[in-house]
Chain A
């Protein structure tokens, strides 16, 4: 399952989403708001998403990850809105039969999320604010929507 939420992410709730007795290895990745960026103190962070498209891209990411590894359960949630230091901005939980697959799948999911899901973050400093330098998503050649 994938989700975009403006509410606080609870790690207990995230782990509940991947409960299954067939899984012996669960990997949980949390992205949290850090108190510094390139040597500058950060006070808080704002996350903005293109909600409709982000949900599509998160679902594709889920499908892709499950295709590459024997994932039994996966849950990906991304937060939006204004976040305080230490708050969770993204959580990915992957449950597999064995730990090796769970680690690899979770690593893939977070790396790929950063390359494909249309979300933007802005850092707030004591003396200003700045959008975080992002990555340009790759474009597939086929563009069926316009044909």
Chain B
């Protein structure tokens, strides 16, 4: 199955990417995805521990299991206002 990734802020700059797709196995959790992302985007590896994740517009904990066609946001610490 596959999921869509969205990159923001510094992560968008570092990866040079706004959106991407990634193939995952069934029962992949957000914390497994972090490892996959580190492999695919080595230059954001050091940031991934401080990144929050969203799934389909809701903040998601690291033990959340991903589903096919989820949209996963990689969110640096937020600074709106």
Chain A: residues with CB nearer than 8 A to chain B? Answer: 31, 47-50, 52-54, 56-57, 78, 89-90, 110, 113-122, 131-141, 143-147
Contacts and interface: CB of A to CB of B under 8 A. Distances in A.
A145 B60 contact: yes
A47 B81 CA distance: 9
Interface of B: 6, 8-10, 12, 50, 52, 54-61, 64-67, 70, 73, 75-81
Given A53-B57, A118-B8, A146 B65 contact: yes
A119 B78 contact: yes
B6 A119 contact: no
A55 to B, nearest CB: 8
A145 B81 contact: no
Nearest to B55: A145
Nearest to A56: B57
B58 A136 contact: no
A143 B64 contact: yes
A30 to B, nearest CB: 11
15 contacts: A50-B8, A50-B73, A78-B80, A118-B8, A118-B78, A120-B8, A120-B10, A121-B80, A131-B9, A131-B10, A136-B77, A143-B60, A143-B64, A145-B70, A147-B65
A131 B79 CA distance: 9
A47 B9 CA distance: 9
Contact of B60 (A52, A117, A118, A146): A146
B18 to A, nearest CB: 10
Nearest to A79: B80
Nearest to B51: A136
A50 B56 CA distance: 11
Contacts of A132: 79
